[in-house]
Amino acid sequence: MIAVEDLIALVRNYNPRTNANRLAEAYAFGMAMHEGQKRHSGEPYFTHPVAVAALLTEQHLDDATIITALLHDTIEDTKASYSEVARRFGSEVAELVDGVTKLTNLQLSSHETKQAENFRKLFMAMSKDLRVILVKLADRLHNMRTIKAMRPEKQVQKARETMDIYAPLAGRMGMQWMRDELEDLSFRVLNPDGRQSIIRRFITLQRESGDVIQRITTDMRRELEKAGIEAELFGRAKKPYSIWRKMQEKDQGFSRLSDIYGFRIITRSEEDCYRTLGAIHQRWRAVPGRFKDYISQPKTNGYRSIHTTVSGRDGKRVEVQIRTGQMHDVAETGVAAHWSYRDGQRSENPFAVDPAKWIASLTEQFDKEEDHEDFLEAVKLEMFSDQVFCFTPKGDVIKLPRGATPIDFAYAIHTRIGSAVVGAKVDNVRVPLWTRLKNGQSCEVIIAEGQTPQISWLDIATTGKARSAIRRSLREVDRERFIKLGRELVRAALENIGRKATDKVLDTAARHLRLDDRDVLLARLGSAELTTHEVVQAVYPEALPAGGETVPPRRAVVGLAPGQSFERAPCCQPLPGERIVGITFRGKGVVVHAIDCDRLSEYESQTERWVDLQWQDGRHPAAYGATVDLTIGNDAGVLGRICTLIGERKANISDLNIVDRKPDFYRLLVNVELRNVEQLHSLMLALEAESDVAEVRRHRQKPPARASAAG
């Protein structure tokens, strides 16, 4: 593990004005909070936050970000609280740590609908302070570097999540080096045989042809010297995953894949970039269609560089990137350039572009998107896109992802134009709507009044914006017919289980499935975008047996000292499946609270009494009481039906107390014995769907105005 003195030295290398005492205090606090915790590898857990902090020093980030890295798991995994972090290190650091904690709690590899909602939250968190995602990306990179210590199935889950979300996010934010490494580390887990195959072929190629990189580097340096150009030159073989992806895209074997080497030339000025391009093209033959000028047309994340591919020695194709030093800094660090320091001062880079603008435009674009799956698809398309630049007849530049068509072009201008398009001209030549646009082409769309999107356009359009608009329009056309059909489908499905398709049941199902209202739910059913099984499962889910061994209540909690007893706090009644913490009491052992219990604020100043706990894995018996606060109609038979429904949910009523009786409604507290928090949520959802239930919520005791925290 990196010592505190060494970490401070790493920061001082680029920021001599760093507050060394504050860094040392954060280091000591983080180490104390994680005392006794271990990683899967058996190492002390604090080695991970320190490694994350060290990664961020490589990007020359400010003190607040480095301190956040040291503390990023304290609120999540230790007894430290937000208020304590804020008191010790200020509100800026506390907000950053809390932001990283919230990102960590987003289960991004879960069901698509939930994943789309989490993407919204992800972008919201990023838009508040982009340093949150910088810490999270460094956290994920270190976890991927040490992933071998995890269980195989967990490795696959994390690698897939990294490949689908974090790697493209890093690339989109301009941190290409991190994207390359995250992809290759994920590739190592997801397809180890494919990766090894690429590496073996590389070794064979080097044995047969020698050090190609050194020879080409020498040739290029000689040409630059002839032209009087001062520049740094680097060559490398591309990452195994990058080569594998090219093989899949081009459907070629390794032996036919030519551009597996990349070279980067860093010049002193923009003028030298173009002089270098001329020298390279004079010496080697340029490959047609492989030239991109991102200096005159930068990417949206601020990336600037000239890309060209030439035929080098022995006819081998090599890719060459040409850029200035300032352009290179942005290309390497992306968004981190906004926070980087040099000689104690925030560095100013004229080429840095704030990706927050991209995030803001993306979230605004899909803010009103009713289809979560469409939103998720659009986000992934946006993050994976490699752009082309086309022109309107007036000369305006339209940025589109590679493979875009005139339909995408039309929707990029305005949704109204996209919906009315009937034809297109590219470079003044009439072309089909499925034509793939190329860099530098001029596109003119032909529209007609009364035209509406066709279902075949979904196979043509590639951008998220176009596909979302097409789907939305198609749904509107058949909306009434789909609503009527959906109502019949759900009526039959609910009758099969002895229930009625009341408006309240449909409203509850829509809310649970994160849809706007019952009409949207019915339209989705009628258009086969949603199944009746999903609706029934949302409101009346079957009680699925939990796996694993039955856990005796006396062994339900993990983290106690040998011989230490525990009891559940009556104020919050924590259930298996909830995050918990323990408070020690003399003569009473440990009292277990839910992590969000209001009473925990009484013990914030007595951190020595806090115990880090968690529920034992396995199947818990229905032995844990929880109180449900119900307001129901005061009609004959209502209470009996409610009690029957609770019994059908496999929950046992241990006590029932009527606390308020009115002529038309009365309120009662029902104590039920449950297995876990999932069963509680299922029960409350079923109760909420009942027409005679006006309100249902979990009952918890509020702390008294003045409470003693003496042990």
Residue of 95, 101, 112 lying closest to 165 (CA atoms)? 112
Q: Are 174 and 303 in contact (CB under 8 A)?
A: yes
Q: Where are the beta strands (DSSP E) in 34-188?
A: none
> How many residues appear in the chain?
711
Q: Would strands 580-585 and 589-594 be described as parallel, antiparallel, or unpaired? A: antiparallel
CB-count exposure of residue 705 (10 Å: 0-12, 13-18, 19+): exposed
First-to-last CA distance in the chain? 37
User: In whole angstroms, what is the distance from residue 61 CA to residue 561 CA?
Assistant: 41
Rounded (10°) CA dihedral 574, 576, 580, 585 = 60
194-to-199, 245, 254, 263 alpha-carbon distances in Å: 9, 11, 11, 25
Angle at CA of residue 539, ends 534 and 541, nearest 5° = 75
Q: Does residue 519 carry a catalytic annotation?
A: no
- Cα separation of 613 and 603, whole Å? 16
* AA identity, residue 186: S
CA distance 656 to 306: 74
Q: Taking the CA of residue 639 as centre, how many other CA atoms within 13 Å lie in the half-sphere pointing to its CB?
A: 14
Taking the C-alpha atoms of residue 402 and residue 436, their distance in angstroms, rounded to an integer, is 8
Tally Cβ neighbours within 10 Å of residue 486.
Answer: 27
- The CB-side HSE value for 408 (13 A sphere, CA atoms) comes to 27
Of the residues 43, 62, 73, 77, only one is catalytic, namely: 77
Tell me how far apart the alpha carbons of residues 24 and 418 are, in angstroms, rounded to a whole number. 57
At 420, the amino acid letter reads A
Q: What does residue 341 show for φ and ψ, rounded to 5 degrees?
A: -120, 150
In 416-556, the DSSP E strands lie at 421-426, 429-431, 443-447
CA 119 to chain centre: 6
Give the CB-side neighbour count of residue 160, counting CA atoms within 13 A.
10
CA 200 to chain centre: 34
Residue 624 pairs in a beta bridge with 674
Residues with Cβ within 8 Å of 27's Cβ and at least 6 positions away in sequence, in order, are 4, 7, 50, 70
Say which amino acid occupies 488.
E
- Which listed residue (25, 58, 76, 180) is catalytic? 76
Local structure of 318: helix, strand or coil = strand
| Residue 362 near residue 382, CB atoms below 8 Å | yes
**Strand, helix or coil for residue 366:** coil
- The question of whether 76 is a catalytic residue gets the answer yes
- The catalytic site residues sit at 76-77
